Amino acid sequence: MNLETCLLTKFTRISLLFLGVMICFLHHVVNKFVQKTEPEHATAIAAASSEPKKKKSSMKESIKFLASSQYLGLVSVLVIGYGLMYNFLEISWKSLVKAQYPNPLDYQRFMGNFSSLVGATTLMVIFLGSNLIKSLGWRIGAIATPAVMSMVAIPFFACTVFLGVDNPIVLRTAVTVGTGMILLSRAFKYGCFDPTTQMSYIPLDEESKVKGKAAIDVLGSRVGKSGASFIQQGLVMGFGNIINASPVVMAIFYSVSFAWIGAANKLSKLYADLSEETEKSPKTSKLAAAQ
């Protein structure tokens, strides 16, 4: 490790330590300020915390609750689909970035620039995504994320599967295309996927909103991430590395994409019917109509 890399590592550690201390300090100051200015509110919070807490649902109960509703099951497919597709893309892309930038300093610099681009792009897509949902409806907003991810992944898989990344030019092209692919995937998640997913809970009854959202947020993200990691570990053991397993990754990626788009289409019909019923008769059982 050269001197420049050592200095950058030390600076990063000192910065993290300083930010951690500041977070602790601000947390202490805010709590002290709230206790002085809002004693009644603080007393109410303390009283509420002393009340017996409701028993949290187990994983088995959460799965059973989601399986009992077609509507919530389709929402789960959307969340799991994003987790699987994004993790497959990210791990393959990072493997290529490390091959393109073997020097740790160059790799960190590249990822730092990438993080800045993600922030700027996300702001643009959030603005455009909200207008897209308002103009074209929930269905287009829900399908936009898997459709964009599938389209931008075509040239990436063309490089890794058909051309081979042993060629420096192909490797550089794959890294560039993959960077744009991951950038758009993250941006569309915040701009289109998250808003449409949250909107899907609105027509549900209170119990389905609370239990369903809690189960999907926990199980959906875990299944997506852990499922992708488990599959990739098996592929690495079988093929030696994730790049050699690109044909299998591509097949799984587009299978998940088709399932995600199909679930979004079905959910859009249920969402429209349920929203219409809620507007006409808000006291009617909402979840029954979704099953």
pLDDT tens per residue across span 96-117: 988 888 888 888 888 888 877 8
In a 10 Å sphere around its CB, with 0-12 CB exposed, 13-18 middle and 19+ buried, how is residue 5 labelled? middle
What integer pLDDT is reported at residue 230 of this predicted model? 80
pLDDT band at 291 (very low <50, low <70, confident <90, very high): low
The answer to whether residue 272 scores a pLDDT higher than 90 is no
What are 118-171's pLDDT values in tens digits? 777 777 776 766 676 777 788 888 898 899 999 989 999 988 888 878 888 988
Q: What is the pLDDT of residue 47?
A: 47
Domains of the chain: 66-290 (1.20.1250.20)
**36-62 confidence digits (pLDDT tens):** 555 555 454 444 444 444 455 566 666
Q: What is the DSSP string of 73-135?
A: HHHHHHHHHHHHHHHHHHHHHHHHHHHH--SHHHHHHHHHHHHHHHHHHHHHHHHHHHHHHHH
Which residue carries 């299944």 as its tokens? 223
pTM of the model: 0.72
Model pLDDT, residue 163: 84
Residue 195 is inside which H or E element, if any? helix 194-199
